[in-house]
Structure 1
Amino acid sequence: MSSSPENIIGKGTWIDKIAYTIVEREKKLGRSTANLNVESGLGASGIPHIGSMGDAVRAYGISLALQNLGYSSELIAFSDDLDGLRKVPAGLPEWLEDHICKPVSSIPDPFGDCHDSYGQHMSSLLLEGLNSAGIKYTFKSGTQTYKSGILADQIHKILSNSKLIGDKIAESTGQQKYLKFLPYFPICENCNRLYVANSIEYLENDRAVTYSCTGNTIGKKLIQGCGHTGRVKIDSGNGKLAWKVEFAARWQAFDIKFEAFGKDIMDSVKMNDWISDEILKFNHPLHAKYEMFLDKGGKKISKSAGNVLTPQMWLKYGTPESLLLLLYKRISGTRHVSIDDIPTLMDEYDLFEDIFFGKVKEPNDSKRLKINGVYEYINHLRPPVDDSSSIHIPYRILIQQANLFKYQIQESDLLLNTIFDRLKKYRLVKEEDIKKKDLIDKITLAVNWVGDFSGLTEDDDVDGSRSGEKLEMSSIQKEAILRIGNDLTNLISNINKKNKDIKSQDNDLAQEVQTIIFNNAKNNNLQPKEIFRILYKILINAEKGPRLGNYIVDLGIDNVVKVIEKRT
């Protein structure tokens, strides 16, 4: 059923719906809509992953949608680099154990001297990913925010109401800790650690907290304190609010109207909403809940677990557009994601572009509008005026070609030119296309993929992906495809008996392959184009491609037969 144009908000995506809801909510609250900031918290205690970037990218998309609706908006990217290191993430050096509970902005960079601190290095990795994807943001360092005193008024109000807050936390979450201590963690001036120094009393007139470094349980581990007692001014930067109350302080200080959250911090968000509304008298921002990214084994992608898929890893093999497509397609629902998704998303982005420019027809109006909207957000609401510079070659073709020559050609420029010549042979590119940066970049990404993952073995597909997924087809189609595999095996067997060399330029052999495909379609009362389409899906995950006879010979008939057997 088609959607009528008058019901479409903005570009017709979930992003636009959230932006519209923000505007309507602010109007109902009676607040000014002159500036509608959104926020994303950046963790700095471990290597940032795709999920971390997804939070910021989606918030940026909503900021763009607000701008598209005519409102001023910016993304505040807040790095929690005053956070204490709770445990050493997998793969990082053991000497970091000596820095447990110290603020990550005060810990040396474990990767060398490229950054001033552990926290700065981790923050920079995520900012690098955002910059590579063209995401615009205003960066806020937690360390600098506390040191500058920006949150001092909010801290004062929160600590002045600490008993009320402690009772509310205990009532809402069952956590008894803040009935005894203040929701503020000083940095002990003796051992320089957070969390082990517990705040005892707030001296309102001095705006200072007294504390005793008596230790704390981090996770399930008891961390001993050093026994020091002291006091700290709340505007000194030598302490930070607990998570149960810090979000609210930031929301008011930065005038935040939207922030998404993962279900793992739902209790903290609810508590912060109450504090924002009741203690700070600032209506909490609109929220959207997103599900966690999981690895293919169903485990949460986590900094500490060591199964991190970073933006840098993704961008070594895929374009920024493919990564943004992953993050903008939807916000709800659990996502299983891995490097193996890159070829599909690379090709899916090309499909979105073809639909946007009308080269591929999408009959469902609602679906077409959403696809076009997502495409525009991927391009920061500044899509190209035409697709004349775009060359859409299935990513798996590029992987396959790189795979064929990776052992023969070591020099990168020569390998790139060799792959380009093969694409010309298949009439997928023209001579002048060698000058197009997007094409060269895609070939380079495919070469990177092959260099790190591929190497045709008995367990590999032609593209080295090891997917082995069965392709859905009717029984008649499956019989025809299996028959083609058998006939190709017999063809190779006959050639071997005659001791003939199989050469990729052997047009006679390519024609024999082509004839085998046609005959099997005809013998099963199927249209040849139907069988060609299935073979393209099997080999390159696309609906069409180069002339199959030549392509199968080039890939290696034995390799192709193995893939047919695995996919049927």
Structure 2
Amino acid sequence: MANERELAEGARAWPFEEARRVVKRLAGKKPEKGYVLFETGYGPSGLPHIGTFGEVARTTMVRQAFQRLSDLPTKLFCFSDDLDGLRKVPDNIPNKEMVAEHLGKPLTQIPDPFGTHDSFGAHNNARLRGFLDTFGFDYEFQSSTEWYTSGRFDEALLQVLRNYDKVKNVVLPTLGPERRETYSPFLPVCAKTGRVLQVPVLETDAAAGTIVYQDEDGSKVETPVTGGHCKLQWKADWAMRWYALGVDYEMSGKDLIDSVKLGNQICKILGGRPPEGFNYELFLDEDAKKISKSKGNGLSAEEWLAYGPTESLSLFMFQKPRAAKRLYFDVIPRAVDDYLAHLAAYSGQDEKRLENPAWHIHNGQPPLPGTKLSYGMLLNLASVCNTEDPAVLWGFITRYSPEATPEGDPMLDRLVGFALRYYKDFVKPSKRYRAPSEGERKALADLVTRLRKLPGDSDGAAIQNEVYAVGKDHGYENLRDWFKALYEVLLGQEQGPRMGSFMALYGLDESLTLIDQVLEGESLTGS
């Protein structure tokens, strides 16, 4: 078996392709800061969301790949832009009137509307850390407020001031005519009101480290750019951060491609080297429209995790990051079953194991697969049993696989709960049974006759052979039409499982009873 370093050097999975770019960038030399820095950014005016998970998960995958290619130490910073001025009151918070009185102030200077932390920024930062900790990410939290006010950004801010016109001239072509008239990379923090001001800068003094700006009341005010007295406009701020921290890798959404290009120019002006990284595609909702946090379309991480395990969400983020994908409830069952399939395949792989998403989801140590039952199979079992009781499903599972127990196979136990919840919320309300046509009735009667001749403990393959043979013998040129008929008549849905495997799990006698009910004209709605 080839060792992991050798496999990593030739692995084609996208995290390894990205990691090799970082390796090439460093040429085997440890950065002066002592570590290779991966970064993700977060705007704490809202709560962490599924995009936050995706960016940290994907960056973590690249970092893990890099760690197999290099012995250099690494860090992952999750950087919160909590010195930004709050522009509008979020819809999903209490005490909106109180927050509205502090618009324009940094988030870390606004009282917490929830009453649990020292500031609104501290509250949302705590939510971010709690969110990331839930998934076990290895990261270091960083606060923009702390970096600015502690002086750790001072030298970088002075470097921006020394190159004030050059930085400004990079940004100006991207702005509208009115904004160009008043744009400055620096946003003073008003000593009187505490608000982050977007006002004209009248003079700069690089030697003194100060700017003179026109205050909102028309007066001229001189202020240092250091020590938290000013912050940078976000595009200049992003580039300054790359320069000050020495960021080696940061990815971002496709909507920020132009901002990345602009940031690269500013970083070079400051004397830094822009980080490596790539732009991932944005998610779409159920109608293939771009997901918007303000509109609330799409799916939250919490909603996904109500119906599927974290591993399935990680797989969704791993797969085709540069392709636009629908992010809605109906993608969850497929994602779960794809994850289970990758996990089952991993133990039999050697040269290709680093191509397997399970390697990246579990940092090279995937767990052993459990009982081979798919999410889709459990979902259909819940559907035909019309149950929301885990004990009912486990009754069938233990008969099908006597060695399986909730304690011995915790992943399967979790999947049972997920499938029952998904059935209750999405499948049950949309079930629509139909009566079989005359031709379908004849095929079903023939299927009953053939299945009754099988031993009671026949496996899924033997049952599937009979289902397949009946379809062919009854003139179904496209067997998909035969299986679609079975799903609609027996399960009340257009899609379904491999019927042989399902009948083996449900039980041959129970499956025959189900078909008999249809042939006798009984309704399956209450089955």
TM-score by length of 1: 0.73
Residue from 456, 459, 465 that aligns with 2:428: 456
Q: 1:29 to 1:174 in 2, by over 3 A?
A: farther
1:398 aligns with 2:378: yes
1:511-550 to structure 2, matched below 5 A, reads: 519-524=470-475, 538-540=495-497, 544-547=501-504, 550=510
The AA in structure 2 aligned to 1:380 is: N
Q: 1:8 to 1:153 in 2, by over 3 A?
A: closer
- Single out whichever of 535-544 and 90-99 deviates more from structure 2: 535-544
The AA in structure 2 aligned to 1:456 is: K
The AA in structure 2 aligned to 1:340 is: D
Once residues 46 and 119 of structure 2 are traced to their aligned partners in structure 1, the CA distance between those partners, rounded to angstroms, is: 12
Indicate the residue corresponding to 1:14 in structure 2.
14
1:222-371 to structure 2, matched below 5 A, reads: 230-278=221-269, 280-307=270-297, 309-358=299-348, 371=355
1:85 CA displacement: 2.4
Q: 1:166 to 1:521 in 2, by over 3 A?
A: same
1:53-92 to structure 2, matched below 5 A, reads: 53-70=53-70, 71-92=72-93
Once residues 34 and 28 of structure 1 are traced to their aligned partners in structure 2, the CA distance between those partners, rounded to angstroms, is: 13
1:108 CA displacement: 3.6
Once residues 35 and 162 of structure 2 are traced to their aligned partners in structure 1, the CA distance between those partners, rounded to angstroms, is: 30
Indicate the residue corresponding to 1:51 in structure 2.
51
Q: 1:143 to 1:449 in 2, by over 3 A?
A: farther
The AA in structure 2 aligned to 1:382 is: Q
Q: 1:179 to 1:392 in 2, by over 3 A?
A: farther
Contact (CA 8 Å) 1:15, 1:61: kept in 2 or not?
Answer: yes
Q: Percent identity?
A: 26
Q: 1:329 to 1:483 in 2, by over 3 A?
A: farther
1:346 CA displacement: 0.6
Indicate the residue corresponding to 1:122 in structure 2.
124
Deviations 1:530-566 (A, max 9, x none): 97799689323799434265358569977xx9xx9xx
Indicate the residue corresponding to 2:358 in structure 1.
375
1:550-561 to structure 2, matched below 5 A, reads: 550-551=510-511
Contact (CA 8 Å) 1:483, 1:520: kept in 2 or not?
Answer: no
1:66 CA displacement: 1.0
The AA in structure 1 aligned to 2:268 is: D
1:289 CA displacement: 1.4
Indicate the residue corresponding to 1:185 in structure 2.
187
Contact (CA 8 Å) 1:37, 1:74: kept in 2 or not?
Answer: yes
Q: 1:89 to 1:544 in 2, by over 3 A?
A: farther
Secondary structure in structure 2 of the residue aligned to 1:324: helix
1:47 CA displacement: 3.0
1:482 CA displacement: 7.4
Indicate the residue corresponding to 1:446 in structure 2.
419
Secondary structure in structure 1 of the residue aligned to 2:45: coil
Once residues 30 and 422 of structure 2 are traced to their aligned partners in structure 1, the CA distance between those partners, rounded to angstroms, is: 53
1:327 CA displacement: 0.7
The AA in structure 1 aligned to 2:80 is: S
Once residues 254 and 61 of structure 1 are traced to their aligned partners in structure 2, the CA distance between those partners, rounded to angstroms, is: 21
Once residues 527 and 454 of structure 1 are traced to their aligned partners in structure 2, the CA distance between those partners, rounded to angstroms, is: 29
Deviations 1:276-321 (A, max 9, x none): 112x211111121111112122332222222253222222221111
Unmatched 5+ stretches in structure 2: 447-455, 458-462, 488-493
Deviations 1:465-495 (A, max 9, x none): xxxxxxxxxxxxxxxx97785559999xxxx
Deviations 1:148-199 (A, max 9, x none): 2211111111022212222232246667746644311122233332244554
The AA in structure 2 aligned to 1:101 is: G
Indicate the residue corresponding to 1:497 in structure 2.
none
Q: 1:516 to 1:151 in 2, by over 3 A?
A: closer
Q: 1:22 to 1:295 in 2, by over 3 A?
A: same
Contact (CA 8 Å) 1:57, 1:327: kept in 2 or not?
Answer: yes
Residue from 136, 139, 142 that aligns with 1:137: 139
Q: 1:242 to 1:554 in 2, by over 3 A?
A: farther
1:194 aligns with 2:177: no
The AA in structure 2 aligned to 1:460 is: K
The AA in structure 2 aligned to 1:72 is: P
1:263 CA displacement: 2.7
Once residues 11 and 332 of structure 1 are traced to their aligned partners in structure 2, the CA distance between those partners, rounded to angstroms, is: 18
Contact (CA 8 Å) 2:79, 2:143: kept in 1 or not?
Answer: yes
Secondary structure in structure 2 of the residue aligned to 1:302: coil
Deviations 1:316-371 (A, max 9, x none): 2211110110111122121221122111111100011122123xx9xxx99x6565
Once residues 72 and 13 of structure 1 are traced to their aligned partners in structure 2, the CA distance between those partners, rounded to angstroms, is: 22
Contact (CA 8 Å) 2:312, 2:335: kept in 1 or not?
Answer: yes
